[in-house]
């Protein structure tokens, strides 16, 4: 089913119609955060105007209303990812906090000296640094599945690196830097063959492709609301109930307790024992509206739309001399992300020129420095698409890249032909009238 993109764009009436530097905004930074439809924004206002109260504590009407709305979202998430029960859904602030919760609450009890933690070379720092800290504290060993030249994982290393000492495998479902979609089911089979815990970072997959935990075979799934039309400040951890029952709380204080004495405490039922203090009530409720919106469109339709945009964009971009795209050429192995470099133009410089044309992209290492080192890069320019993006925007994007290439070739012909990256952030862009070229 083809999406009615203009109808969808009408649900984002202000920000998608705004001007940036005198040009219509083209928002290609969706892998960092998505825009929010009017219904999500309205739901925030409605909560604060009609049901604002703390949850789980009050017997008055407003508190009960807020609690019901908050807990209803837990049910929606369980349905969205096909979790076994709503009590397996824990709210956090973001994907990073969800991973840290596992590292602290499970890792510090279960990881011992000599145990092995298997990651991949493409992980976001959020799925790398917590395990580095844990391994250093516990004397554990980090192992990695490395990248092939095409941006896919070397799965032969997966087989070689999994053994009886493997206690955790933690892997991204979709690379935020390359768009690579990983074969999660294969990782699950290897993890469970040796009794290892298996965590999937779904921050870049939950907004874009259908998610079924039963099919993926993961023990833990983590993602964030703000990348999938929801507000910032809401993360999700979904895990088997037995796992959540076994591990200790990550944070302590109010509402995560059952009984408290002066010298000891007992914990609340799951998932509440992991949600200490007043949670982000309004934004969780608004996230439920975002989930309804995505479900109405259909996750499979979103996936097909993004594939169409990627195929169209890649075909256009490959006509630009000197432009190199990183990641799988097979679009069935790729999400709506295109990571590239244009000649020796520094990504920050290229992003600045694109911004002059109202085009928002991400430039840098994308919190994936080991991945960048694997390809000998300091960074890339990343364009990432979502449900409201159109082919017409890609056409303007390509024209802006052509303009940027002309600009840098004209301003620094000797440097643009050099293998060394340009270093013009502080001088060139201040002295040249980019917008007039």
CA proximity to 73, closest of 107, 43, 99, 53: 43
Question: Within a 10 A sphere around the Cβ of 96, how many other Cβ atoms?
Answer: 21
E strand or H helix at 382: strand 380-384
Rg (C-alpha) for the chain, rounded Å, is 23
118 pairs with which residues across the strands?
143, 169
Which residues, 6 or more positions from 6, have their beta carbon under 8 angstroms from its beta carbon? none
Look-up: residue for tokens 């690579």? 180
Query: Does the CA dihedral 400-402-407-412 come out positive or negative?
Result: positive
Interatomic CA distance for residues 183 and 196, integer angstroms:
17
Rounded to the nearest 5°, which phi and psi values hold at 296? Answer: -65, -40
CA dist 118 and 182 (Å) reads 15
> 120: part of which helix (H) or strand (E)?
strand 116-120
Per the CB < 8 A criterion, the answer to whether 98 and 238 are in contact is no
Nearest to 228 by CA among 15, 28, 30, 17: 30
State how far the alpha carbon of 91 is from the alpha carbons of 23, 262, 281, 430, in Å: 39, 28, 10, 45
Residues carrying an active site annotation: 367
Nearest to 400 by CA among 362, 428, 359: 359
DSSP 275: -
**Tokens of residue 193, six digits:** 């063959």
């Amino acid at each position: 089913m083809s999406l009615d993109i203009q109808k969808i764009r009408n649900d984002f009436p202000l920000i998608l119609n705004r001007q940036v530097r005198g040009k219509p905004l083209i928002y290609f930074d969706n892998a960092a955060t998505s825009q929010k439809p009017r219904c999500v924004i309205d739901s925030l206002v409605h909560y604060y105007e009609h049901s604002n109260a703390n949850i789980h504590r009050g017997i008055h009407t407003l508190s009960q209303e807020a609690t019901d709305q908050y807990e209803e979202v837990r049910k929606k998430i369980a349905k969205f990812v096909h979790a076994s029960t709503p009590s397996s859904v824990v709210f956090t602030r973001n994907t990073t906090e969800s991973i840290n919760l596992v590292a602290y609450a499970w890792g510090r009890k279960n990881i011992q000296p000599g145990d092995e933690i298997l990651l991949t070379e493409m992980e976001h720092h959020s799925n790398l640094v917590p395990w580095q800290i844990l391994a250093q504290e516990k004397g554990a060993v980090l192992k990695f599945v490395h990248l092939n030249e095409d941006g896919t994982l070397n799965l032969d290393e997966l087989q070689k690196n999994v053994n009886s000492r493997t206690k955790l495998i933690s892997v991204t479902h979709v690379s935020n830097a390359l768009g690579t979609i990983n074969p999660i089911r294969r990782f699950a089979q290897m993890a469970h063959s040796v009794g290892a815990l298996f965590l999937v970072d779904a921050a870049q997959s939950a907004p874009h492709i259908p998610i079924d935990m039963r099919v993926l075979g993961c023990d833990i799934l983590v993602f964030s609301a703000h990348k999938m039309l929801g507000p910032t400040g809401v993360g999700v951890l979904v895990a088997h109930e037995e796992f959540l029952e076994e591990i200790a709380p990550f944070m302590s204080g109010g509402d995560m307790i059952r009984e408290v004495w002066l010298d000891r405490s007992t914990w609340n039922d799951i998932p509440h024992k992991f949600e200490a203090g007043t949670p982000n009530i309004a934004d969780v409720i608004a996230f439920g509206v975002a989930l309804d919106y995505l479900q109405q469109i259909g996750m499979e339709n979103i996936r097909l739309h993004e594939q169409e945009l990627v195929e169209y964009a890649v075909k256009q971009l490959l006509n630009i001399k000197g432009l190199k795209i990183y990641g799988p050429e097979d679009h069935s192995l790729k999400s709506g992300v295109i990571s590239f470099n244009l000649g020796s133009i520094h990504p920050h410089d290229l992003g600045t020129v694109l911004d002059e044309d109202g085009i928002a992209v991400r430039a840098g290492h994308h919190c994936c420095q080991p991945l960048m080192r694997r390809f000998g890069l300091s960074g890339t320019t990343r364009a990432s698409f979502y449900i409201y993006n159109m082919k017409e925007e890609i056409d303007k994007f390509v024209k802006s890249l052509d303009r940027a290439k002309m600009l840098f070739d004209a301003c620094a012909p000797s440097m643009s032909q050099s293998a060394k990256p340009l270093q013009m952030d502080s001088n060139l862009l201040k002295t040249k009238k980019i917008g007039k070229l």
